[in-house]
Structure 1
Amino acid sequence: MHHPILGSEETMKKGILTKREREVFELLINNYDTNEIAKALKISDKTVRNHISNAMQKLGVKGRAGAVIELLKLGELSL
């Protein structure tokens, strides 16, 4: 199976997000803002925004909410 955005089935099985992107989104769905995520992960606000932006680009969505919804649908995140 080949997904037009996500690539091959092998790629999808490995997961869409990097470890750090997943950490950022797990905090995001737990109501952390950018600054709180940066402090929790000991990275800069800009790096947090970059991780979110990279994930949105991979998913082909606009906005954090769209990314979260898509990641939930794909089973990459759970509430």
Structure 2
Amino acid sequence: MASDYQHRSLLTVREREIFHLLVSDHSTKQISEKLSISEKTVRNHISNTIQKLGVSGRSQAIIELLRLGELSLD
């Protein structure tokens, strides 16, 4: 069956892109340049994700996203 289990991501596509770049050691400035968005927009996406997860910072967000299988270190 095709619909045995469909995983609905906690993250938006953009949030996923940003966190993937964060774990790939990109700075907020580098992410903004790479995605052609402002640094404030990058920070807003990070902040939104932190709020969704109920954690207190980027590092905890990354750990939680890894634990949930929302992010990988590949």
2:9 to 1, 9, 15: 15
User: Post-superposition, which runs of at least 4 consecutive aligned residues in structure 1 deviate over 6 A?
Assistant: none
Residue 42 of structure 2 aligns with which residue?
A: 48
Distance, in Å, in 2 between the alignment partners of 1:56 and 1:32 is 18
Residue 26 of structure 1 aligns with which residue?
A: 20
Distance, in Å, in 2 between the alignment partners of 1:38 and 1:22 is 14
Q: State which structure, 1 or 2, has the greater radius of gyration over its C-alpha atoms.
A: 2
1:37 matches 2:31: yes
- TM-score relative to the length of structure 2: 0.89
Q: Identity rate of aligned residues, in percent?
A: 61
1:69 matches 2:63: yes
Q: When you count strand as a share of all residues, which structure comes out higher?
A: 1
AA partner of residue 58 (structure 2): R
AA partner of residue 73 (structure 1): R
Q: Which runs of 5+ in 1 are unaligned?
A: 1-12
| Alpha-carbon distance, 1:44 to partner | 0.1
Distance, in Å, in 2 between the alignment partners of 1:75 and 1:40 is 24
| Alpha-carbon distance, 1:53 to partner | 0.1
Distance, in Å, in 2 between the alignment partners of 1:52 and 1:58 is 10
